[in-house]
Structure 1
Amino acid sequence: MLTNQDRRLSVAPMMDWTDRHCRAFHRALTGRALLYTEMVTAPAVVHGDRERLLGFDGLEHPVALQLGGSDPAQLAQAARIGEAFGYDEINLNVGCPSDRVQSGRFGACLMREPELVAECMAAIREAVAAPATVKCRIGVDDQDPEVSLFATADACAAVGIRVFIVHARKAWLQGLSPKENRDVPPLDYGLVRRLKRERPHLNVSINGGIASLDAAEALLAEADGVRLDGVMLGRAAYHEPAILGQADRRLFGEAVADIDALQAIERYRPYMAARLAEGVALSAMTRHMLGLMHGRPGARAFRRILTVEAIRPGAGLEVLDRAVEAVREAEARRDRAA
């Protein structure tokens, strides 16, 4: 069972990004961060190819399944299926602003229906022994966030939900694209801190605009007598994944050495070799690694080799070896010039 300490750092569910290969790669960098699946809709889980949608490698634990939907009975059924697959947490998406999600009456538009969210969460909680959690926005469109956030949290808390991950921005469902909704609405970290201060019995993690572990540490520090329970990294963890190699030491307080980019590749190799043997394309795995060498000599060559060569039919780990060698050579040139 996940503890409060386990939630100090999580990696956000991100569509088309945090698939099983991405999660296995991130696990090569951090043993402690809680990882999330991409959002999977409850109807897809109930009626679709479950192994394709939900299958994952045991090395990914702890890993949470994020569901999308608004039908309590269907969500309960999907949650039971997810728990049977071995997920450590079942999370409901109350934050995605895309048009497709809105048309299905789930995601961020549910911020307008806190009682329905509570019904969904009650059904999930009753269906599974794993923790049932909510990821939400602070509000949508012309809602007053001071009302909408607390209404959602209080309605869910009334049915026994204790864990909330709050993206500290409104979502504008009309007029902004999903991409713009990640940047344009202003952040309100203070409101998330207020939720924790006024509802201290809730476990509250904060998400949105957190670009570094320095920022994560600052948000986890006590301020005005309030200490948030966790931070969730999104694009920073994906585009500069090497920062996760410091997380176990810096955020979880473990007496361990940091994992650098080259070590992470060696730790990821056995997983990649196993998937290649199953017929998975190399590019399906290396696409998540393109930012790994960010800021290092040879980073551009590393990205180019993986981008161009990994998509070729039959590409294997020798492509990764060439990309790594390009970095080693660039670093050796730098050292000789120093």
Structure 2
Amino acid sequence: MKRDEIDLRSAARLSVAPMMDWTDRHCRAFHRVMTRRTLLYTEMVVAAALVRGGARHLLAFDPAEHPVALQIGGSEPKELAEAARMGANEGYGEVNLNVGCPSDRVKSGCFGAVLMREPERVAAACAEMIAASSVPVTVKCRIGVDDQVSEEVLPDFLTRVRDAGVRQVTIHARKAWLKGLSPKENRDIPPLDYPLVHRMKAEFPDLSISINGGIATLDAAAEHLEGGLDGAMIGRAAYHDPASVLLRADSQIFGAEDPCERAEDAALRMRPYIARHLEAGGRLHDVTRHMLGLFTGRPGARTWRRTLSEGTGRKDAGLELFDAALEHVTLAAA
């Protein structure tokens, strides 16, 4: 699919969250064989790495990944604007600003969730990014951080980014506790407040609002859509159990035909991609590490994971190892 053939707003009905060290181009290629319609996101790319570090390779992606969005992190408006321009010129259909990540690395760089404390800076950055980008600029945020009162902070934040020109926001329905909780704990411990996000849609009908946090199934995503939200974003569940989330995404969420019937079909459709990657000098593990959860809950799943995990560490590991792992699953299902 080409970018101009895709309604990004429609694609955002279901999206796979940007996840550091996970949603790289190989992961996105794998997810795309299971769903043509779901919006995919890159890992967060630091604006400074693009603008000052010359790391243009971080923007590399295959047009077959569309619809795909670039997520960037930073806090300096001019730098973010230049990074957004670069992303748009590279061919991404959307540029998303990270205002939700609670990791120590982003806190020390004064971006991510800590920016919930500086809505004026976020709004200024969004305005600069919109002026520089030829594609939509969106925001992913939390409902607040630390001791902020979410019911007060979130409406003010949304007002400011909307007034800056943003038309689409994804809200992780948890606070981020920057003091006392690890990034992992921040994904589970702060309580979810789905009703607050739904109230924000009622209060800001002109914004396209997607919800994130704790959504693990297509049924749960559909429930939020039926409740009036414009989109649902699934994170770890789409990575750890991709077949259960993505194989029926196109039919259940978009009313379209699913490209794959079975997890086995998805594995076989990845074989030519893996072959090209190996021929280009890549390693099997680069791709298959994202596929370990493909047969979760199925007979043979443990052997599939073990074969790929243990064998792909060898530099000479090739398609024969992948085929052997898949054969174990096929025999277990027989």
The residue number in structure 1 matching 2:321 is 319
Q: CA deviation at 1:255?
A: 3.8
Query: Which of 255, 276, 279 in structure 2 is aligned with 1:277?
Result: 279
What do the CA deviations read for 1:134-182 (whole angstroms, capped 9, x no partner)?
A: 0000000000001111111110100111100000000000000000000
Distance 1:259 1:49 in 2: 42
| In the alignment, structure 1 residue 221 sits paired with structure 2 residue 226 | yes
The residue number in structure 1 matching 2:37 is 32
Q: CA deviation at 1:79?
A: 0.8
Query: Which of 170, 193, 207 in structure 2 is aligned with 1:202?
Result: 207
Distance 1:262 1:140 in 2: 42
The residue number in structure 2 matching 1:336 is none
Matches within 5 A, 1:4-19: 4-19=9-24
What do the CA deviations read for 1:251-271 (whole angstroms, capped 9, x no partner)?
A: 011144653211111222222
- SS of 1:135's equivalent in the other structure is strand
Query: Which of 99, 113, 135 in structure 2 is aligned with 1:108?
Result: 113
Distance 1:186 1:24 in 2: 33
In structure 1, the gaps of 5 or more residues are 333-338
The residue number in structure 1 matching 2:126 is 121
Q: CA deviation at 1:51?
A: 4.2
Count of residues in correspondence between the two structures? 328
Query: TM-score, normalized by length of structure 2?
Result: 0.96
The residue number in structure 2 matching 1:290 is 292
Q: Which amino acid aligns with 1:230?
A: G
Distance 1:36 1:145 in 2: 26
> Residues 138 and 168 of structure 2 are in contact (CA less than 8 Å); yes or no, is this contact kept in structure 1?
yes
Between 42-51 and 68-77, report the one with greater CA deviation. Answer: 42-51
> Residues 249 and 257 of structure 1 are in contact (CA less than 8 Å); yes or no, is this contact kept in structure 2?
no
What do the CA deviations read for 1:298-333 (whole angstroms, capped 9, x no partner)?
A: 00000000001111111111111001100011111x
> Residues 220 and 229 of structure 1 are in contact (CA less than 8 Å); yes or no, is this contact kept in structure 2?
yes
| In the alignment, structure 1 residue 266 sits paired with structure 2 residue 271 | no
In structure 2, the gaps of 5 or more residues are none
The residue number in structure 1 matching 2:306 is 304
Instruction: Give me the identity figure in percent.
Output: 59
Taking structure 1 as reference, are residues 62 and 201 closer, same or farther at Cα in structure 2, changes over 3 Å only? same
| In the alignment, structure 1 residue 249 sits paired with structure 2 residue 251 | yes
| In the alignment, structure 1 residue 237 sits paired with structure 2 residue 242 | no
Q: Which amino acid aligns with 2:324?
A: R
> Residues 64 and 88 of structure 1 are in contact (CA less than 8 Å); yes or no, is this contact kept in structure 2?
yes
Query: TM-score, normalized by length of structure 1?
Result: 0.95
| In the alignment, structure 1 residue 86 sits paired with structure 2 residue 91 | yes
The residue number in structure 2 matching 1:335 is none
Distance 2:216 2:209 in 1: 19
| In the alignment, structure 1 residue 97 sits paired with structure 2 residue 99 | no
The residue number in structure 2 matching 1:139 is 144
Q: Which amino acid aligns with 2:318?
A: G
> Residues 249 and 258 of structure 1 are in contact (CA less than 8 Å); yes or no, is this contact kept in structure 2?
no
Q: Which amino acid aligns with 2:241?
A: E
Distance 1:4 1:193 in 2: 18
Distance 2:240 2:266 in 1: 15
Distance 1:5 1:155 in 2: 24
Q: Which amino acid aligns with 2:277?
A: R
Q: Which amino acid aligns with 2:230?
A: D
- SS of 1:204's equivalent in the other structure is strand
- SS of 2:254's equivalent in the other structure is coil
The residue number in structure 2 matching 1:190 is 195
Q: Which amino acid aligns with 1:233?
A: I
Q: CA deviation at 1:278?
A: 0.9
- SS of 2:43's equivalent in the other structure is coil
Distance 2:54 2:272 in 1: 26
Moved beyond 4 Å, runs of 4+: none
Aligned residues: CA RMSD: 1.1
Distance 1:275 1:49 in 2: 24
